[in-house]
Structure 1
């Protein structure tokens, strides 16, 4: 994905990415994503964590809000709907919600903007920027599927964090990095998180 075009005399801004962490299982995806982006030069992350997301961080990772917030460049209160990222004039490459709960999916699909996560996602969609929702639930009911269809029709990308096995991961960390590498590919961020698919190996026997 190409960064937003700017006037040639305008100051060069970093590539900005909005990261939302909500109350679905899979908090590790949001935390690991922040860690990876922190190591990449020229990228500025804007973090939002829902109340349920805070609970999951503690439940799944024994992490407190402040520990996760230190991984981001800018932190926004999820209730601050007057924040800079609530406006289309805020320039960004897009937004990733990792993980994305079914509640947040429904809010985005129906344009509710009931908190800053949903409002920021709504802005990204209306400005035709990239929105990726790493939805977590199983099995899906019809409401979930219809909401995913609605977001897709609006230009968003539904990306359930389903592990791949063709690269023969040796542990959970490799599985997580492979999934996040595919997400970063959607924003044309360079990384070396996983080997690229080179086709099926011929039988050597």
Structure 2
């Protein structure tokens, strides 16, 4: 399996880092692209610099490199996840603005009818945010807000992060045992 992982500048880089770690453990090929603010927020929130982040991915692509393989529809991928996904990135993707590799890869994922998952963490949401997410949803994009459930009685931040990562993996049909299934 080949998955593109984008990290943009919204708060919640912990979800992107956790997803990369799990995908690495599962042997999934990952192609990472990080926005400038995504790099900043990851270092600020997770104390992980870009070099450490790169080590969690199979391949890393500079956000300004529009000639990277993931910018082309002929480069086959199974899915793309943008986690966290800032409202700026959601707006760009919803409106077809492909001015960097992150948004171009998302645009390619949509045009090729591949699985795209965006994980917004913004709150509250304005009408503009909601309209952009609705636009994406109508094109088949999965909008998966970083809103952990509490029915499993999480005992730590790690448990809450795992619940969101599990939902992302479920959307890509990747087997895991991060969380107990309802009724188990």
Partner of 1:10: none
Partner of 1:164: 149
State the shift of 1:196 in Å: 0.3
Aligned residues: 184
* 1:26 aligned onto 2:27: no
- Which is higher, the Rg of structure 1 or of structure 2? 1
Partner of 2:174: 189
Q: 2: CA distance between counterparts of 1:52 and 1:68?
A: 14
C-alpha offsets along residues 77-101 of structure 1, whole Å, 9 cap, x if unaligned?
A: 0001111111111111110000000
C-alpha offsets along residues 21-71 of structure 1, whole Å, 9 cap, x if unaligned?
A: 010000000001000000013x10000010001110111111111011000
State the shift of 1:106 in Å: 0.3
Q: Give SS of 2:119's match.
A: strand
- TM normalised by structure 2 equals 0.98
Partner of 1:40: 26
C-alpha offsets along residues 140-174 of structure 1, whole Å, 9 cap, x if unaligned?
A: 11110110011111110111110101111111101
Displaced runs of 4+ in structure 1, greater than 3 A?
none
The structure where helix makes up a greater share of residues is 2
* 1:136 aligned onto 2:150: no
Partner of 2:37: 52
Q: Give SS of 1:124's match.
A: helix
State the shift of 1:192 in Å: 0.2
Alignment of 1:57-72 (within 5 A): 57-72=42-57
Runs of at least 5 residues in structure 1 that lack an aligned partner in the other structure: 1-14, 200-205
How well do the aligned residues superpose, as a CA RMSD in angstroms? 0.9
Q: 2: CA distance between counterparts of 1:175 and 1:93?
A: 26
Partner of 1:12: none
- TM normalised by structure 1 equals 0.88
* 1:118 aligned onto 2:118: no
